[in-house]
Amino acid sequence: MTESPVRTTDAGVVVVRPEGRLNMTVAPALREQLHGLVREGKARLVVDLSAVDAIDSSGLGALISGLKAARQGNGDLRIAAPCEQVKAVLELTNLNRVLKTAESADTAFDESA
């Protein structure tokens, strides 16, 4: 499994950008990547979903696991730019109430987001 591209914003927020389908093939690597970042002290995370076209229960599990790790590290995990399919899955599972969503990764930690 390859890691998703990562960048850090000027505000110190780490943005992880998976691509394609966030499913049982890719989710374990994303989960480990998010946990690794938190272990490094980088607990303010955004998962930029702009390049993800589908998500399944494994992908949702990776996001929730990352959220839990980030919060245990005194941070938070937010998601940005989900496509319509991902938005629909989040709504069907009520995870849209748990995962804070922003239009873009750069605004995910803005107070107004």
pTM for the model stands at 0.94
Please report which residue ranges of the chain form alpha helices under DSSP H. 27-39, 57-72, 84-92
**Of 62, 78, 55, residue with least CA distance to 27:** 62
For residue range 11-26, list pLDDT tens digits in order. 899 999 999 999 999 9
The pLDDT of residue 113 is above 90: no
**2 — pLDDT class (breaks 50, 70, 90):** confident
Tens-place pLDDT, residues 19-46: 999 999 999 999 999 999 999 999 999 9
DSSP H or E run through 14: strand 14-16
Residue 8 has pLDDT above 80, yes or no: yes
82: left (phi over 0), alpha (psi -120 to 50) or beta: beta
1 pLDDT above the threshold of 60: no
- What's the whole-number mean pLDDT along residues 80-107? 96
Domain annotation for the chain: domains and CATH numbers: 6-104 (3.30.750.24)
